[in-house]
Amino acid sequence: MYVDLNKELSDEQKAVKQRAHEFAAQVLRPASIELDKLTPEEVVGEGSRLWEVLRVAYDEGWHLRNFPEALGGAHLDPLSSHCVNEEWGWGSADFAISLSVTSFPFAFAAGRRDPKIIEEIVMPFVEDKRGRYIGCWAITEPGHGSDTLMPGTKYWTNPDMHYGLTATPDGDEYVLNGQKSAWVSNGTIATHALAFLGVDRKRGMAGGGVALVPLDLPGVTKGPPLNKIGQRALNQGEIFFDNVRIPKAYMFVDAENYTFAIDAVLAGANAFMGSAFTGLARAAFEEALIYTQNRVQGGVPINQHQLVQKKLFDMFVKVETSRQLSRATMLYNHGTFPPGTQYSISSKVYCTQAAFEVASEAIQLHGGYGLTKEMYVEKLFRDARASMIEDGSNDILSLTAAQKIIDQYIP
């Protein structure tokens, strides 16, 4: 276990952190390694260990970790949330993402404080102990990816850039048409989607909306699960909407408030990515540390050779700086309104890049063995590579953050 530089963690925070570590070590990591070897269809198939993980997670109440206590949730403080995210990322980046996304539509619905929505949508999820209600974040499209995450830039209000999935008002309902791409996390197993879609095309991406969509409605179909190089326990797949009707009450955010909403979501999602991939970086560093202690060359463990020691030190620094940046971001944004999205983006970009670099160096220290499927670092390397694209590619996110930084510091 790493040394936590924060000596002021409360006993409750330490307990949450330890519980999350045990869940990650005993449940998430073994299942993730097993599912990594399966086809995407087998991962979501009957009898798959995926469903066991969901059942355990829900039974232990992890799906409610960010829910208010009034609804039976733990409502973790930001430091405890960071600890959980890091431990889950240490155990399995793919499950860390999947389990965090699954509550997304229901947490959004809980924030509406509409008694009917609470009764129909939120409480069945809250009371679920078996993983029967699964959420997804339906934002990415075949023609749109990171450009959906650029509020504040000159592209945001370009009328030639708008969602392909649109919502058209019709009486007391909205009619949805279009599709979301194969990168929707939990896409093929989800029961409910939080769909980010077009409401007013003339405003470009700024004319978006956020709607809850039960995925058993007429007109909803799903594509096959996506076959990826990494994060294979994270089910992803496309969703199609053909004249799907939802009540107007299910449109949680309209075009007038969409820019603020996407900025807040971006701040939260990127902060999560920074903390979770701090965990992956730590996992890769620990694998390298253990291997270099046991691998002998020249009559001594290779961690006694200076070149290896320098590599280990550089990896250690990247893990520790990732933790400090991602923690500071979560703590700051928890009490800041509106959030400092540029800091969340900085955390996501830095920590995912660091995770990839640490995993790559871990393979290098393993030598030829690091390239084999038998070594855990090979999986960590593949899982880390995806992180620099998902939840917004690092390059495009940097442009969004740069504009915010420029706007903030112009006199």
CA distance 273 to 383: 13
Asked whether residue 286 falls in the same domain as residue 320, the answer is yes
216: containing domain = 135-256
CA 40 to chain centroid, in Å, comes to: 19
Which CATH number fits the domain that encloses residue 209? Answer: 2.40.110.10
Asked whether residue 106 falls in the same domain as residue 155, the answer is no
CB 282 within 8 A of CB 319: yes
Asked whether residue 144 falls in the same domain as residue 218, the answer is yes
Q: What is the pLDDT of residue 269?
A: 96
CB atoms within 10 A of CB 245: 15
Q: What is the pLDDT of residue 2?
A: 82
Which CATH number fits the domain that encloses residue 398? Answer: 1.20.140.10
In a domain, 4, yes or no: no
Q: What is the pLDDT of residue 244?
A: 98
CB 69 within 8 A of CB 145: no
Residue where a domain terminates, one of 101, 126, 151: 126
Asked whether residue 401 falls in the same domain as residue 326, the answer is yes
CA distance 138 to 127: 24
Which CATH number fits the domain that encloses residue 81? Answer: 1.10.540.10
Please tell me the total count of domains within the chain: 3
Asked whether residue 200 falls in the same domain as residue 290, the answer is no
Asked whether residue 208 falls in the same domain as residue 276, the answer is no
Asked whether residue 150 falls in the same domain as residue 42, the answer is no
In a domain, 2, yes or no: no
Q: What is the pLDDT of residue 292?
A: 98
Give the pairing type, strands 192-198 and 135-138.
parallel
The pLDDT tens digits for 4-38 are: 999 999 999 999 999 999 999 999 999 999 999 99
Give, for all 411 residues of the chain, the pLDDT tens digit: 689 999 999 999 999 999 999 999 999 999 999 999 999 999 999 999 999 999 999 999 999 998 888 888 877 999 999 999 999 999 999 999 999 999 999 999 999 889 999 999 999 999 999 999 999 999 999 998 898 989 988 889 999 889 999 999 999 999 999 999 999 999 999 999 999 999 999 999 999 999 999 999 999 999 999 999 999 999 999 999 999 999 999 999 999 999 999 999 999 999 999 999 999 999 999 999 999 999 999 999 999 999 999 999 999 999 999 999 999 999 999 989 899 999 999 999 999 999 999 999 999 999 999 999 999 999 999 999 999 999 999 999 999 999 999 988 876
User: Residue 410: what residue type?
Assistant: I
Asked whether residue 335 falls in the same domain as residue 373, the answer is yes
Residue where a domain terminates, one of 126, 160, 190: 126
Token pair for 301? 């463990």
Q: What is the pLDDT of residue 289?
A: 98
Asked whether residue 293 falls in the same domain as residue 375, the answer is yes
In a domain, 119, yes or no: yes
Q: What is the pLDDT of residue 332?
A: 96
In a domain, 1, yes or no: no
Q: What is the pLDDT of residue 246?
A: 98
